[in-house]
């Protein structure tokens, strides 16, 4: 059972990443309309059915996988880099710098992140670049808070004090003596950030603030399919199930990774 809990989510995420990588190399036609097959269910011509314009749901699902993967990668990468830098520097410098950073983080945490992302996306306008920017502006806060807490627990350890006494520079101390010791919780935070970003991107696209037609996104596919839910449920079920599998798989692997990196749980097992 434990092996199944790891292999199944890993397989789902491997397929998701593979589709995102090789999607541009495939002979896909996500925007080609086949009018005689409007709202058709799965068939030999369209093995996941066709939408209200006769476009292949399978092809658009692959393009949507690439969209969600690209957004998740860039949002989590930008959030992790910016948030970790701010959190580490805040804890290391202390004083007024730390006080200001904590207050800014508290302001961001006082509002639901998705509402801030919707507001930013609405101000900036629709588009994948604006979605990435809006979600990254919201996402760095969690990394900054975690990095600050972890750095505060590490900065007074013997190896850090020894490096300071030997005259090592700030950058060297942070890079070699702090980041390696706080990387584990940040990696786990990144895994959960991927799941949250995939859902947020789909939500923004569903609201019309993300990827714009004719480009495909799982959120836009679900939004367009809700109009035909009773006559063509596959338009909603296909991207909805794909979204559910990816998010559940990321969360399950994140839980397993957290347990693996937690020394207390490993010793208890």
Tens of pLDDT, residue by residue over 178-215, are: 888 888 889 888 988 999 999 999 999 998 888 887 88
In a domain, 156, yes or no: yes
Angle, helices 234-261 vs 2-22, to 10°: value is: 120
Q: Are 8 and 256 in contact (CB under 8 A)?
A: no
* Best CA proximity match to 97, nearest among 89, 108, 107, 105: 89
CA dist 59 and 241 (Å) reads 16
Tell me, what's the pLDDT at 100?
93
Query: Which comes out higher in pLDDT, residue 42 or 218?
Result: 218
Section 138-162 average pLDDT? 89
Angle, helices 179-206 vs 57-93, to 10°: value is: 140
For the domain that residue 145 is a member of, what is the CATH number? Answer: 1.10.3720.10
Cα torsion angle, 62, 63, 68, 69, sign: positive
Q: What secondary structure letter does DSSP report for 54?
A: S
SS3 49: coil
Tell me, what's the pLDDT at 84?
94
Residue 3 has pLDDT above 70, yes or no: no
In a domain, 13, yes or no: no
- Split into its structural domains, the chain has a count of 1
In a domain, 197, yes or no: yes
CA dist 19 and 60 (Å) reads 11
Tell me, what's the pLDDT at 99?
92
Tell me, what's the pLDDT at 110?
86
Q: What percent of the chain has pLDDT over 70?
A: 95
Residue 244 has pLDDT above 90, yes or no: yes
In a domain, 11, yes or no: no
* Structure confidence at residue 267 as a pLDDT band (50, 70, 90): very low
Q: Is 201 exposed, middle or buried (0-12, 13-18, 19+ CB in 10 A)?
A: buried
Tell me, what's the pLDDT at 6?
65
Residue 5 has pLDDT above 80, yes or no: no
Q: How many Cα atoms occupy the beta-carbon half-sphere of 164 within 13 Å?
A: 10
Section 118-124 average pLDDT? 88
Lowest mean pLDDT among 160-169, 176-185, 260-269: 260-269
Structure tokens at 117: 């992302």
Q: Omega of the bond prior to 214 within 30 degrees of 0, cis?
A: yes
In a domain, 244, yes or no: yes
Tell me, what's the pLDDT at 1?
47
Q: Taking phi first (over 0 means left), then psi (-120 to 50 degrees means alpha), and beta for anything else, what does residue 16 get?
A: alpha
pLDDT digits (tens, 9 = 90+) for 44-88: 777 888 888 888 888 899 999 999 999 999 999 999 999 999 999
In a domain, 166, yes or no: yes
Residue 145 has pLDDT above 50, yes or no: yes
Residue 263 has pLDDT above 60, yes or no: no
Q: What Cα–Cα distance (Å) separates residue 237 from each residue in 29, 56, 70, 161, 219?
A: 21, 14, 22, 56, 12
Residue 40 has pLDDT above 70, yes or no: yes
Mean residue pLDDT of the chain comes to: 86
Residue 259 has pLDDT above 80, yes or no: no
Section 102-129 average pLDDT? 87
Domain that holds residue 208: 48-263
CA dist 132 and 251 (Å) reads 21
In a domain, 33, yes or no: no
Tell me, what's the pLDDT at 126?
84
What is the pTM for the complete model shown?
0.88
Residue 171 has pLDDT above 50, yes or no: yes
In a domain, 173, yes or no: yes
């Amino acid at each position: 059972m434990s092996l199944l809990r790891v292999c199944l989510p890993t397989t789902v995420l491997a397929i998701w990443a593979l589709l995102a990588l090789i999607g541009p190399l495939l002979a896909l036609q996500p925007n080609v309309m086949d009018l005689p097959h409007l709202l058709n269910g799965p068939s030999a011509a369209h093995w996941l059915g066709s939408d209200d314009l006769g476009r292949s749901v399978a092809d658009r699902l692959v393009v949507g996988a690439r969209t969600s993967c690209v957004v998740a990668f860039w949002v989590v990468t930008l959030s992790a880099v910016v948030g970790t830098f701010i959190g580490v520097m805040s804890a290391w410098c202390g004083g007024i710098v730390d006080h200001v950073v904590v207050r800014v983080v508290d302001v961001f945490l006082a509002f639901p992140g998705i509402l801030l992302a919707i507001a930013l996306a609405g101000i900036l306008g629709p588009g994948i670049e604006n979605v990435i920017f809006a979600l990254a502006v919201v996402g760095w806060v969690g990394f900054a808070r975690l990095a600050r807490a972890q750095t505060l627990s590490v900065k007074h350890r013997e190896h850090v004090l020894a490096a300071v006494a030997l005259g090592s520079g700030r950058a060297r101390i942070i890079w070699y003596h702090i980041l390696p010791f706080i990387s584990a919780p940040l990696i786990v935070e990144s895994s959960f950030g991927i799941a949250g970003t995939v859902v947020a991107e789909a939500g923004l696209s569903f609201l019309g603030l993300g990827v714009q037609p004719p480009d495909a996104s799982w959120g836009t596919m679900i939004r367009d399919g809700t109009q035909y839910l009773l006559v063509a449920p596959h338009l909603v079920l296909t991207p909805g199930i794909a979204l559910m599998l990816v998010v559940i798989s990321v969360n399950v692997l994140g839980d397993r990774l957290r347990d693996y990196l937690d020394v207390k749980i490993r010793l208890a097992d």
